[in-house]
Amino acid sequence: MLQIEKQNIILVGPAGSITVPKEDEITSKLAMLYEGECEGLGPTRASEKYGYSKQRYFQLLTLYSQQGALALQSKKRGPQSNYRRTDEVVRQVIRHRFLDSDASVEIIAQKINQCHFPISTRSVERIIEQFGLQKKTIHLST
């Protein structure tokens, strides 16, 4: 049997209980699947009880069935790689900066785009900042 309090999930058995913090997302999701599939609560009520949609319930059930409990751990969202600022693009930005130190980031971005590497001026700026290739400014004292 499962009990849910404000901060914790409590797994209760005939000989005792275990408290699981709500921050433990794997156990929390597993508890939801257990209640939905084994305790007779059903997918709709179990997902509502744990704050998920019915669709997410079935996604988690599929993940658990195919890959086990570790698949219930949330993954990082967004792009998984730097698909614009690849190693080759970084090399080209550095190369262009050294070939013509007076070239603006717009010119460098334009040259790299002409070589069929899609890059924005902001990405060129970031690469230049990352490698410390900014132009030095001369401060004149009066």
Q: What is the pLDDT of residues 67-121, one digit of tens each?
A: 999 999 998 888 888 888 999 999 999 999 999 989 999 999 999 999 999 999 9
Q: Does 137 fall in a domain?
A: no
Sequence-distant (6+) residues with CB within 8 A of 64 are: 29, 30, 33, 71, 72
pTM, two decimals, is 0.57
Domain of residue 91 covers 87-130
85 within 8 A of 127, measured Cβ to Cβ:
yes
Q: Is residue 121 part of a domain?
A: yes
| Residues 91 and 52 occupy one common structural domain | no
7 and 62 share one domain: yes
Domain assignment present for residue 78? The answer is no
